[in-house]
Amino acid sequence: MDVTYLQGPSPCHRYQQKLKSKAQKISERSCTQSKAVLFNKETSLSYTSLVLDTQGQASPSKIKKSKIKKSRKVRTKKLKAYIPEDKQETSPSELLKTYERKILLVGKPGIGKTAVVHQMLKVWSEKDNKDLDYMFYFDMRETPNITEVHKLEDLLFSVFNEPDEGKDKVLEDIKNNADNVTIIFDGVTDIPSTSVVCKLIQKILLPEAKIIITCRPEVESADFLLGWDCLRVEVKGFSEQGIREYLSKNLSEEHFSKVLCNLELFSLCHVPMYALMVVACFSFEDTVFCPHPCTVTKIYLNILHFCIQRNVGKTSENESTKWDAVLSLSEAAFCATEGKNVDLTSLPPSLLFQIGRSSNLGFMNRLLIQAGPVLKKTPVCFSPLHSSGGFCSSVAPEGPRKDQKCCPTVSD
């Protein structure tokens, strides 16, 4: 690093390099996780442009009229209506350069919010070092205890990344030059008012820093975001051109043409997570299952069947035992979902034993919960196949909060 033109203490520049190195690792890790679900080793995943709408939130009456208008269309036009138009409004690099100090990225699950901020991390990590600035990224799903942090120093250094030297100088520079600081909170749900995260969002701390939040639409009405005057960006997924670009990079010509000929499958791919799952299903070439399902339900079933086929033993007795466990689990999960609860505490001990032996199936988690000073209990929680980070994710042991709706069952 050429330090002849750098301004500011050298520990700050070394810390900036350390942050850029971590930003690169985060963006690369997301790509690695996506590639892990594909079985074509030659697949090269990279960022594909998403439709980012900055027009602001539509009124409830307009949303209702839009839904009514869409429902009256014929099937083919209705499917095409789900694919957003690419209006070239903005991009991750432009969001990084904008002078807006508060940015809210909103979108439904799997639509690409995390992909956008990961691309921002990548863009920032690859720029030159002439300007001394800092970028911090917090995945709220991976660090649930972040809301219990009450000091800025602990949040930036202990939770994210600590300087190798000159911690006091780095912290002082961050406070004195907050306009050169970008902090991303990815996957925000609820923030207590005493948390340092809330103080950053409300601009009590580092008022000149750029704060970027990603959340689902229902979180916008949360107390900590009420009156939050910001640049609202709705992530709408892939446009038609984006779908074609993504699939052409990750599918063979034969498979690509099959998706193009199937409007139901093609329109489904406007959601990046579903596009990845479609590509994964086409990689099941050596299996007995249909390689090109046309509904979300069939995609989930294909993935579940493939995982079971890959992990379950080959003997008929072993398969029979584990299939019984899967069927019993499916019934219990369905009943729990109907009751708006994914905590399967009522499963019989015999089924728990079978699930324990079948833990490599990857959709059950046994979680240890502190029930008292001494007593501990181990309930089993159903992990829905859908999550923003991949096919499986763990569910909080206490089940959904009172103000949080349970994930609905997947239907065609």
Q: How many helices (H) and strands (E) does the chain have?
A: 15, 11
Residue 237 scores a pLDDT above 80 = yes
pLDDT band, very low/low/confident/very high, at 327 (cuts 50, 70, 90)? confident
* Residue 62, number of CB atoms within 10 A of its CB: 10
Of 238, 283, 246, nearest to 44 (Cα)?
246
Distance (Å, whole) CA 386 – CA 108: 12
Decide: 100 and 260 in contact? Cβ < 8 Å. Answer: no
Instruction: Indicate the pTM of the whole model.
Output: 0.74
pLDDT band, very low/low/confident/very high, at 134 (cuts 50, 70, 90)? very high
Decide: 293 and 303 in contact? Cβ < 8 Å. Answer: no
Residue 136 scores a pLDDT above 50 = yes
Calculate Rg over the CA atoms of the chain.
23
* pLDDT at res. 318: 54
- Reported as type and span, the H/E element at residue 235 is strand 231-235
DSSP state of 135: E
- Reported as type and span, the H/E element at residue 370 is strand 369-370
State the distance between the two ends of the chain, measured CA to CA, in whole angstroms: 55
CA 153 vs CA 170, 188, 198: distances in Å: 10, 21, 15
Residue 342 scores a pLDDT above 50 = yes
In the structure encoding, which two tokens stand for residue 269, read together? 């791919």
Decide: 235 and 52 in contact? Cβ < 8 Å. Answer: yes
Which stretches does DSSP call E strand in 121-229? 134-139, 181-186, 210-215
Distance (Å, whole) CA 244 – CA 255: 12
Decide: 86 and 236 in contact? Cβ < 8 Å. Answer: no
Residue 385 scores a pLDDT above 60 = no
190-227 pLDDT tens trace: 888 888 999 999 999 999 999 999 999 989 888 888 88
Which stretches does DSSP call E strand in 19-64? 52-53
How many degrees, rounded to 5, is the angle at CA 293 between CA 234 and CA 248?
Answer: 60
* pLDDT at res. 33: 75
* pLDDT at res. 41: 53
Residue 364 scores a pLDDT above 60 = no
Query: For the chain, what percent of residues have pLDDT higher than 90?
Result: 33
Residue 87: strand, helix, or coil: coil
State the DSSP string of 204-272. SSSTTSEEEEEE-GGGGGSGGGTT---EEEEE----HHHHHHHHHHHS-HHHHHHHHT-HHHHHHTTSH
* pLDDT at res. 351: 61
Output 292 or 174, whichever has higher pLDDT: 174
What superfamily does domain 10-38+46-54+89-235 belong to in CATH? P-loop containing nucleotide triphosphate hydrolases (3.40.50.300)
* pLDDT at res. 365: 47
* pLDDT at res. 363: 47
51-92 pLDDT tens trace: 999 887 655 555 555 556 556 666 677 777 888 888 777 899
pLDDT band, very low/low/confident/very high, at 371 (cuts 50, 70, 90)? very low
Query: Please, what is the average pLDDT of the chain?
Result: 76
* pLDDT at res. 359: 45
* pLDDT at res. 398: 37
pLDDT band, very low/low/confident/very high, at 258 (cuts 50, 70, 90)? confident
